[in-house]
Amino acid sequence: MPEAIPVDGATAEHVLEHLRHRGARVTTARRAIVEAMVNAQGHRTADEIAAAIHDAYPSINRSTVYRNLEELERLGVLVHAHLGHGAATYHLAANAHSHLVCERCGVALSVPTELFSELSTTMLAQYGFTIDPLHFSVLGICAPCRSTDAP
């Protein structure tokens, strides 16, 4: 049975301790990335993370960020979602949520994953398919954009 995933409110140090217990090394890059994610109020793309840590750690390379995001996801600390066009977005697994993305203005709304429980049941019953609402985004038109539509 795997180590418990850090819960809401976990500090960067808690997450790093989790890594240590899993046998992964705690490096400057990982510390920087985890801090950036803990500080991020919501989700961030790989590039945004690289930019955010560039002030404090200018030498950390973008490829290191990508490699560590992948590793941190495999260790259960992070999850990522595809927003349709453009870059994937990452957030703490403890802070899991689904996304609604506006096709017109690009805004990404965070919504609780429970909203998909019914769809989940239907897809499983009819197709034997287990949906993963954290991994994809629902595209459509947000309320403000809809209201400025042509009549």
Residue 106 as a binder of DNA (CB under 7 A): the answer is: no
**β-bridge pairing 44-45 and 89-92:** antiparallel
Q: Listing from the earlier edge strand, what are the strands of the sheet with 89-92?
A: 44-45, 89-92, 78-81
Question: Of 10 and 44, which has the nearer Cβ to DNA?
Answer: 44
What does the block give as tokens for 61? 């390379």
Which residue in this structure is represented by tokens 């290191």?
Answer: 64
Contact flag: residue 3 with DNA (CB under 7 A): no
Residues near 128 by Cβ (< 8 Å), separated by ≥ 6? none
Minimum gap (Å) between residue 45 Cβ and DNA: 6
Sign, CA dihedral 43-45-46-48, equals negative
Judged by the rule CB under 8 A, the positions of this chain that interact with a copy of itself are 82, 84-85, 100, 102-103, 109, 111, 115-116, 118-119, 122-123, 126-132, 135-143, 146
Q: Residue count at the site for DNA (CB under 7 A)?
A: 26
* CB of residue 29 to a copy of itself, shortest distance in Å: 24
Closest CB to DNA among residues 11, 61: 61
User: Rule CB under 7 A: is residue 62 a binding residue for DNA?
Assistant: yes
Shortest gap between Cβ of 50 and DNA (angstroms)? 9
Task: Please enumerate in sequence order all residues whose Cβ is within 8 A of that of 51, keeping only pairs 6 or more positions apart, or say none.
Answer: none
Phi, then psi, of 99 in degrees rounded to 5: -130, 140
Residue 86 in the binding site for DNA (CB under 7 A)? yes
47 is an interface residue for DNA by CB under 7 A: yes
